[in-house]
Amino acid sequence: MIRVGTGFDIHRMESGRRCVIGGVEIPHDSGPLGHSDGDVLLHALVDAILGAVCAGDIGTLFPDTNPKYKDMKSEAFVEEALRTANDKGYALSSVDSVVFAESPRLGPHREIICQNIAHMLSLDFDCVSVKAKTYEGLGAIGRGDAVAAQVVAVLCNKE
């Protein structure tokens, strides 16, 4: 049996914050604001994994009111989401994603982000896709005031 989950996230960009996307630090003068490390791509990935197995969402599993999650690396949320899916009898088989960012431009970092996520998920490199889109200068993302990500995850029954 195949299950599909979708996730979306958006973060405000703040000057002087580290810019971590897909677990990779990207040199930039601003970064996604968040209670954790603000990794918009990994947050959307967590929601896609949880969504596929009907296990709620990142906000209910890791509430931003809990000081435990302050400045936490989002890899830990991904690991917990994977464990939840595995406990329900499902294994991740592929991930496709889009990151919407006017700046920084993600094209040059796309491959390393893919490799990092594949490693994190114990998937082959060719089972993880990350696409980078600008917002054609429109709205908050187009001004570089926000970044967003959309992820689809496919999970298969382990039996």
Residues in the site for Mg ion, rule: CB under 5 A? 9, 43
Q: Which is nearer to Mg ion, 17 or 43 (CB)?
A: 43
Q: Which is nearer to Mg ion, 61 or 91 (CB)?
A: 61
Q: How far is the CB of 9 from Mg ion (least distance, A)?
A: 4
Largest Cα separation within the chain, whole Å, is: 48
Q: How far is the CB of 12 from Mg ion (least distance, A)?
A: 10
Q: Which is nearer to Mg ion, 11 or 109 (CB)?
A: 11
**Ramachandran assignment for 155, one of left (phi > 0), alpha (psi -120 to 50 degrees), beta (any other):** beta
Q: How far is the CB of 158 from Mg ion (least distance, A)?
A: 28
Contacts (Cβ under 8 Å, ≥6 apart) of 3:
52, 53, 90, 154, 155, 156, 157
Contacts (Cβ under 8 Å, ≥6 apart) of 54:
none
Q: How far is the CB of 27 from Mg ion (least distance, A)?
A: 21
The residue whose Cβ lies closest to Mg ion is: 43
Contacts (Cβ under 8 Å, ≥6 apart) of 71:
35, 36, 37
Q: Which is nearer to Mg ion, 36 or 116 (CB)?
A: 36
Structure-block tokens of residue 126? 């060719």
